[in-house]
Structure 1
Amino acid sequence: MAMVDEPLYPIAILIDELKNDDIQLRLNSIRRLSTIARALGEDRTRKELIPFLSENNDDDDEVLLAMADELGGFTPHVGGVDYAHVLLPPLESLCTVEETVVRDKAVESLCKIGAQMKERDIVAWFIPLVKRLGAGEWFTARVSACGLFLIAYPSAPDLLRAELRSVYNELCHDDMPVVRRSAALNLGKFAATVEAMHLKSDIMIFFRELTQDDQDSVRLLAVEGCAALGKLLEPADCVANVLPVIVSFSQDKSWRVRYMVANQLYELCEAVGPESTRTELVPAYVRLLRDNEAEVRIAAADKVTKFCGIVCPQVAQQHILPCVKELSFDSSQHVRAALASVIMGVAPLLGKEATIEQLLPIFLALLKDEFPDVRLNIISKLDQVNQVIGIDLLSRSLLPAIVELAEDRHWRVRLAIIEYIPLLASQLGADFFDNKLGALCMQWLGDQVYSIREAAANNLKRLAEEFGPEWALQHIIPQVMEKIKNPHYLYRMTVLVAISLLAPVVGAEPTCQTMLPVVINAAKDRVPNIKFTVAKMLQSMIPIVDSTVVEQTIRPCLLELQEDPDADVRFFAGQALQACDQVMCA
């Protein structure tokens, strides 16, 4: 068999592997295209490699996707921007395949290459490609064409621009809904490149026709265009052309369109400009908040705080808060959860009086909701209300609910409360905290769920940091020490973890006098898990106490543990002894 000439070797290997039945080999070959191109050089890459890729008939979508991705960064390998046009044919071919993700990646790569090309090359090579795809026999080509106009249009001379607008118009009226969807999806990007005079004429005509399409999938994509077009138009033109469409869409017969409006309404309001105009959208928003479909109400509820922020407080109180009250008792738990995740943010917008009168009852209702996620969402945002109504009123109104939730049967709710406790404590003050919440914090150390016990130990450390070592020595540490007598070893382990977390906060002397004796005594526990936890605790205490304590108290205990029958106990004791030796040698 004749040897392959060395200069032909890379392309020969590529051809061989791209025809291999093994998809992994074909994929690997495509992903090495840049390496192969460097081996071939720019000239042979243009004359041999790219034409070969253009003729590649691989039918595996994964291989085609990899090729579309690789070619997007291939400009340096063909000789730079002057030769970028040679990359267009294989990508044009990929724009016509059936698989959507391959076409999308090919369009993305074409846009990336087109953005680098010189204006004359755009006119000579890129615009003809767009026109060919736009007139393609298969819908796949026409779908892809819609995403390329934003690159082609700015470089086109006037006559070509008129032709491109005409092509886009045909795409907006295509027989295939999928093509019209693509036209609707890309209209905002295309509009951003069009001159103002044609924006108000041609583009707005395209927009209006797409918003009246028989297919709801086309109309809902046109909704996204509302915000994009609104930002391009003058405020008066926006009010005249976009506002009526938004209002109409809020009453669309398809719930999917109404859902999209609810999702986009905040952006749409920003687009229509002044507050007086935004107020005209309030009835549309109210309709969405009271929509028959739960999915629409969820999307609308999620925007309550944002929407209240762009209308005056009086309008929010008069029109939006009554709907919010209804939603707090909505039949769908997911609607209530969406509302609970944002409702606390309304308080700073309304002020203290309105929050107390109108929002506080809604907060309390949601705090008692049977669905855990609703309660969790309210708890996580309580600090936003603190800033408005003050801690005194908060403690009177919300503390009973918080205490009830601290014993909730759902562990995730209890965990959320624990994580909120340090923030609440800092606002309540030490005296109030001791009287109302101190017992709860100790109770959590004996919870059945490990994550709760772990969080409770960390919570005690954060409280000690908040209120200081003296407070911790008086109010936390004696109660923690008492719990080491618990008959169940898992709870005793939690106490040891709490001790190790508190020791650095309270300092050397209290650690040696109060906590270290308890840890040393636990080394005699019958459960191996407790003993190796003791070894780890003692190691964590070494940097806190002085070397005398390490030598006289900690080291002897660890030497005993190193003789334990359990392998894990011996291992951790050995690690701790190494730490002791390092301290003694320092």
Structure 2
Amino acid sequence: MSKGNLAGGVIPPCALHLAGCANSKKCAENLPGKCSIRVENYGKRCPGQNKTNKTWLPALADIQLRLNSIKKLSTIALALGEERTRTELIPFLTETIYDEDEVLLALAEQLGNFTALVGGPDFAMYLIPPLESLATVEETVVRDKAVESLRIVAAQHSAQDLEVHVVPTLQRLVSGDWFTSRTSACGLFSVCYPRVSAAVKAELRNNFRQLCQDETPMVRRAAAGKLGEFAKVVEVEYLKSDLIPMFVQMAQDDQDSVRLLAVEACVSIAQLLQQDDVEHNVMPTLRQCVNDSSWRVRYMVAEKFTDLQKAVGPEITKTDLVPAFQYLLKDTEAEVRASAATKVTDFCSNLDKGSQEQIIMTSILPYVKELVADPNQHVKSALASVIMGLSPILGRNNTIEHLLQLFLLQLKDEWPEVRLNIISTLDCINDVIGIQQLSQSLLPAIVELAEDSKWRVRLAIIEYMPLLAGQLGQEYFNQKLRDLCFNWLNDHVYAIREAATLNMKKIVQTFGTQWAETNIINQILVMYKNSNYLHRMTCLFCINALADVVGADIIKRLFLPTIKVLSTDPVANVRFNVAKTLQKLSPFLDQAAIDEHVKPILEKLNTDTDVDVKYFASEAMVGIAAA
């Protein structure tokens, strides 16, 4: 901005160098609606300052300062008042839209919330010119934000003002020389159409058809993206006569980027039509999209498949969508197969209950079996994330007979993400076939995964272990799973050791304190002798976790002697964790135990040569004293 740009204007310098004036907020507070500063005073002393600010003029060129100024436009508008905002600030902004994209983006966002600041809905039309200008700029994000704000402002117009001010703006954008204005126009039809007269509606439908046939692919893309939204506000008769031909035309466009957006519109259109109309007007085009030469279009069909299924209803699903789904599951492109695979469970659950099982067993499951052995890891991983969901749909017998073998294959898959996704959804099958059947069929593979080379797989098994323990019982756990839990405590990955300590706590909550003392506590405490200090710290972490569930007797009898030994550990990290552990245990101990066992250890640590040890010991003493 140069001074020449402002000559003859009437915007207060506060509005222009707001970010550079430390007292701009004070100006706004003291002069609401009656700021007398004008552009003639540009560069002179601001009354909110004690001396002339000579530094803000060059700083104004800095984009961040201008950005800050724009973000405070509402403060400026409040200072000016509604009338001056309408007559001075808005025209100024309209005439000076030439800034950096970041500044324009902020301006477009601000103007969408400006209606109250210009005097309310009766004066909302004053915001249209700057937003119209912003809707034509080159940068896409600025245009999109301007259209978003135009939609907000348009919705606040009365029906009469909408026709007088907003519709002409829309039509100017439609007829703009540059594609940028025509793409922006596409976003305004659904806001304007419902509240205008029949004659104007006819014009708008013609305008939209014009955009759908535009010679520029970017404009056709924008129109295709808004076709479904526009269809929702158009009367059904015109939907059939005007919009469906546009939809069919776009689904045959020579640009796949247009065709794939037509698939999205297909969902909205199908939801608005009766079944016969869907079959006649939509399905031929959808079948064409399923077989499209571009994988991106087929991918979009797969992405929207369950939405399409709900829109077209059970009969068309049975006759048309099941074969289409089979085609997508066998697609030559891995991305399409993966997308379709993620929809398997949802598609099956939405099938008509009367024929659901028969369709799944004969028409879907054979294709699922092929995907389990798919050569692409992403396809197998996508299937593994949902396949367990078929168990509740097919029931116990079908799960045992047909699905368990597939689950087992995926548990043993070479790709860790496949194994992880299966493990993460084991609860689905457990509720259907029961823990005994699960333990017989899948537990050997699960136990094998407990030592998987990928730590995330081991972590998933740990998180599932408390559920297994509770349902398999103490005897089975002691025989088959307990040693695994101890191995995790010594894992080389910290996240596994941390999860293993919480796992122990949950298992003790399940089996009780007496079981814990007999079966695990002594093995945990013996870790204090380990030569690796990380394992000695794990011993402390376990004590911390178990303190909540084992009771004061075990803490005094078993935990405190171990902690006392560790308080003299040669590694400072271990010693300061002793201090933290004692603070954690103190609420479970009576005062006598604290005085006899806890305080002497902390007092000794408080004289430690290590700064961190002294700090945590001091913190623990203060915390215990305050409790």
Q: TM-score, normalised by structure 1?
A: 0.96
Q: Verify the 8 A CA contact 2:470 2:510 in the aligned structure 1.
A: yes
Structure 1 residue 269: deviation in Å? 0.7
Q: 2:568 aligns with which of 524, 535, 538?
A: 524
Structure 1 residue 429: deviation in Å? 2.0
Instruction: Name the counterpart of 2:95.
Output: 55
Q: Verify the 8 A CA contact 1:269 1:278 in the aligned structure 2.
A: no
Q: 1:74 aligns with which of 104, 111, 114?
A: 114
Instruction: Name the counterpart of 1:179.
Output: 219
Report Cα offsets for 1:444-467 as digits up to 9, x if no partner. Answer: 111111111111111101111122
Q: Verify the 8 A CA contact 2:341 2:382 in the aligned structure 1.
A: yes
Matched residue type, 1:206: M
SS in 1 for 2:587: coil
Q: 1:503 aligns with which of 547, 550, 567?
A: 547
Q: Verify the 8 A CA contact 2:15 2:69 in the aligned structure 1.
A: no
Instruction: Name the counterpart of 2:577.
Output: 533
Instruction: Name the counterpart of 2:411.
Output: 367
Aligned 1:27-42 pairs, distance under 5 A: 27-42=67-82
Task: Tell me, in whole angstroms, the C-alpha distance in 2 between the residues paired with 1:18 and 1:60.
Answer: 18
Instruction: Name the counterpart of 2:269.
Output: 229
Is 1:189 the counterpart of 2:229? The answer is yes
Deviating more after overlay: 263-272 vs 531-540 = 531-540
SS in 2 for 1:525: coil
Structure 1 residue 427: deviation in Å? 2.0
Matched residue type, 2:497: R
Task: Tell me, in whole angstroms, the C-alpha distance in 2 between the residues paired with 1:283 and 1:342.
Answer: 20
Instruction: Name the counterpart of 1:449.
Output: 493
Task: Tell me, in whole angstroms, the C-alpha distance in 1 between the residues paired with 2:528 and 2:449.
Answer: 26
Alpha-carbon distance change, 284 to 540 in structure 1, aligned in 2, over 3 angstroms = same
Instruction: Name the counterpart of 1:118.
Output: 158
Deviating more after overlay: 338-347 vs 51-60 = 51-60
Is 1:460 the counterpart of 2:460? The answer is no
Matched residue type, 2:488: W
Structure 1 residue 278: deviation in Å? 4.0
Q: Verify the 8 A CA contact 2:97 2:133 in the aligned structure 1.
A: no
Report Cα offsets for 1:533-566 as digits up to 9, x if no partner. Answer: 1111111111111111100111112222222222
Instruction: Name the counterpart of 1:562.
Output: 606
Alpha-carbon distance change, 471 to 276 in structure 1, aligned in 2, over 3 angstroms = farther
Alpha-carbon distance change, 206 to 541 in structure 1, aligned in 2, over 3 angstroms = same
SS in 1 for 2:549: helix
Task: Tell me, in whole angstroms, the C-alpha distance in 2 between the residues paired with 1:399 and 1:18.
Answer: 73
Instruction: Name the counterpart of 1:207.
Output: 247
Structure 1 residue 123: deviation in Å? 0.8
Structure 1 residue 276: deviation in Å? 5.3
Is 1:92 the counterpart of 2:132? The answer is yes
Is 1:575 the counterpart of 2:615? The answer is no
Q: Verify the 8 A CA contact 2:10 2:88 in the aligned structure 1.
A: no
Structure 1 residue 13: deviation in Å? 4.7
Structure 1 residue 421: deviation in Å? 0.7
Instruction: Name the counterpart of 1:23.
Output: 63
Instruction: Name the counterpart of 1:331.
Output: 375
Structure 1 residue 509: deviation in Å? 0.9
SS in 1 for 2:332: coil
Task: Tell me, in whole angstroms, the C-alpha distance in 2 between the residues paired with 1:93 and 1:495.
Answer: 67
Structure 1 residue 431: deviation in Å? 2.1
Q: Verify the 8 A CA contact 2:85 2:117 in the aligned structure 1.
A: yes
Matched residue type, 2:467: L
Matched residue type, 2:212: C
Deviating more after overlay: 172-181 vs 56-65 = 56-65
Task: Tell me, in whole angstroms, the C-alpha distance in 1 between the residues paired with 2:470 and 2:208.
Answer: 61
Q: 1:547 aligns with which of 584, 591, 609?
A: 591
Task: Tell me, in whole angstroms, the C-alpha distance in 1 between the residues paired with 2:79 and 2:609.
Answer: 64
Matched residue type, 2:146: A
Q: Verify the 8 A CA contact 2:11 2:89 in the aligned structure 1.
A: no
Task: Tell me, in whole angstroms, the C-alpha distance in 2 between the residues paired with 1:499 and 1:32.
Answer: 54
Instruction: Name the counterpart of 1:220.
Output: 260
Q: Verify the 8 A CA contact 1:562 1:571 in the aligned structure 2.
A: yes
Instruction: Name the counterpart of 1:146.
Output: 186
Deviating more after overlay: 422-431 vs 227-236 = 422-431
Matched residue type, 2:610: D
Task: Tell me, in whole angstroms, the C-alpha distance in 2 between the residues paired with 1:465 and 1:425.
Answer: 11
Alpha-carbon distance change, 276 to 264 in structure 1, aligned in 2, over 3 angstroms = closer
Matched residue type, 1:30: I
Identity of aligned residues (%): 54
Instruction: Name the counterpart of 1:130.
Output: 170
SS in 1 for 2:588: coil
Structure 1 residue 96: deviation in Å? 0.8
Is 1:307 the counterpart of 2:347? The answer is yes
Task: Tell me, in whole angstroms, the C-alpha distance in 2 between the residues paired with 1:39 and 1:574.
Answer: 54
Matched residue type, 2:591: S
Task: Tell me, in whole angstroms, the C-alpha distance in 2 between the residues paired with 1:79 and 1:243.
Answer: 50
Report Cα offsets for 1:445-503 as digits up to 9, x if no partner. Answer: 11111111111111101111122222212222121122222111110110111012112
Instruction: Name the counterpart of 1:399.
Output: 443
Structure 1 residue 116: deviation in Å? 1.1
Alpha-carbon distance change, 109 to 235 in structure 1, aligned in 2, over 3 angstroms = same
Task: Tell me, in whole angstroms, the C-alpha distance in 1 between the residues paired with 2:176 and 2:9.
Answer: 41
Report Cα offsets for 1:167-193 as digits up to 9, x if no partner. Answer: 111111000011111111001111111
Instruction: Name the counterpart of 2:479.
Output: 435
Structure 1 residue 279: deviation in Å? 4.4
Q: Verify the 8 A CA contact 2:224 2:262 in the aligned structure 1.
A: yes
Deviating more after overlay: 518-527 vs 6-15 = 6-15
Structure 1 residue 271: deviation in Å? 0.4
Is 1:296 the counterpart of 2:340? The answer is no
Instruction: Name the counterpart of 2:48.
Output: none
Structure 1 residue 11: deviation in Å? 4.7
Q: 1:105 aligns with which of 145, 153, 165?
A: 145
Structure 1 residue 47: deviation in Å? 0.8
Alpha-carbon distance change, 567 to 179 in structure 1, aligned in 2, over 3 angstroms = same
Q: Verify the 8 A CA contact 1:130 1:145 in the aligned structure 2.
A: yes
Structure 1 residue 524: deviation in Å? 2.2
Instruction: Name the counterpart of 1:168.
Output: 208
Q: Verify the 8 A CA contact 1:72 1:113 in the aligned structure 2.
A: yes
Matched residue type, 1:543: P
Matched residue type, 1:62: E
Q: Verify the 8 A CA contact 1:484 1:492 in the aligned structure 2.
A: yes
Task: Tell me, in whole angstroms, the C-alpha distance in 2 between the residues paired with 1:109 and 1:7.
Answer: 24
Task: Tell me, in whole angstroms, the C-alpha distance in 2 between the residues paired with 1:512 and 1:116.
Answer: 70
Deviating more after overlay: 274-283 vs 413-422 = 274-283
Q: Verify the 8 A CA contact 2:606 2:613 in the aligned structure 1.
A: yes
Deviating more after overlay: 67-76 vs 517-526 = 517-526
Matched residue type, 1:306: D
Task: Tell me, in whole angstroms, the C-alpha distance in 2 between the residues paired with 1:412 and 1:139.
Answer: 49
Unaligned stretches of 5+ residues in structure 2 = 1-7, 19-38, 43-55
Alpha-carbon distance change, 438 to 11 in structure 1, aligned in 2, over 3 angstroms = closer
Instruction: Name the counterpart of 1:390.
Output: 434
Task: Tell me, in whole angstroms, the C-alpha distance in 1 between the residues paired with 2:319 and 2:459.
Answer: 41
Alpha-carbon distance change, 560 to 25 in structure 1, aligned in 2, over 3 angstroms = closer
Task: Tell me, in whole angstroms, the C-alpha distance in 1 between the residues paired with 2:157 and 2:9.
Answer: 35
Task: Tell me, in whole angstroms, the C-alpha distance in 2 between the residues paired with 1:246 and 1:421.
Answer: 46
Structure 1 residue 329: deviation in Å? 1.1
Instruction: Name the counterpart of 1:474.
Output: 518
Q: Verify the 8 A CA contact 1:405 1:413 in the aligned structure 2.
A: yes
Instruction: Name the counterpart of 2:454.
Output: 410
Q: Verify the 8 A CA contact 2:151 2:188 in the aligned structure 1.
A: yes
SS in 1 for 2:596: helix
Q: 2:530 aligns with which of 483, 486, 492?
A: 486
Matched residue type, 1:121: D
Alpha-carbon distance change, 276 to 200 in structure 1, aligned in 2, over 3 angstroms = closer
Q: Verify the 8 A CA contact 1:366 1:374 in the aligned structure 2.
A: yes
Deviating more after overlay: 189-198 vs 377-386 = 189-198
Task: Tell me, in whole angstroms, the C-alpha distance in 2 between the residues paired with 1:579 and 1:131.
Answer: 71
Task: Tell me, in whole angstroms, the C-alpha distance in 1 between the residues paired with 2:253 and 2:370.
Answer: 34
Instruction: Name the counterpart of 1:340.
Output: 384
Structure 1 residue 298: deviation in Å? 0.9
SS in 1 for 2:438: helix
